[in-house]
Amino acid sequence: MATLKEPKSLLDTSYLAKGTIGNVGMPGAPIAQYSLVVSTEQETVSGIVEITQAIDSPTIKVNVAGRLRHTGYGNITQIIDLKGEYVVSMTPPAIGSYLEKFEAYLDVDNDWNGTGGFSFGFQKVNNVPVKSVK
């Protein structure tokens, strides 16, 4: 039987953070939507990122994990980095698949609003808005 652990402090908590990274509303811009479980005590994040683009490309889903660092000053109070990999299937006549890397960074305030960027495959998106979704 599992037992529940009492929190050591108010910082011994986990919460869900959801939002978007990218220029939402810009035609053809890749947008990353994230849903992350944040452990403030462990200073870790993990979850899923879904990348969509308005052009004819499939949605990419990536399991991610990363670190959370508190800055302690200014408007940017948290720095988050994420990493993950996803499977890319080759188009015919080629046969097979391979792993592609995904990386992201978020420089955000306590409400998870700020700026960030991400890269996947050969695409890099930098210095775009990060918006929290409640």
54-101: pLDDT as tens digits: 776 778 999 999 999 999 888 999 999 999 999 998 888 889 999 999
Q: What is the mean pLDDT of residues 45-61?
A: 88
What's the pLDDT band for 5 if we cut at 50, 70, 90? very low
Looking at residue 76, its pLDDT comes to: 95
User: What stretches of 1-134 adopt beta strand conformation (E)?
Assistant: 14-21, 31-39, 44-52, 60-70, 78-89, 97-108, 114-120, 123-132
Question: Which residue range is the domain that position 98 belongs to?
Answer: 14-129
Q: Which DSSP state fits 26?
A: S
- Which residue carries 């490309």 as its tokens? 57
pLDDT for 34 beyond 90: yes
How many domains does the chain fold into? 1
Q: Is 131 strand, coil or helix?
A: strand
Is 79 among the domain residues? Answer: yes
Is 107 among the domain residues? Answer: yes
Is 113 among the domain residues? Answer: yes
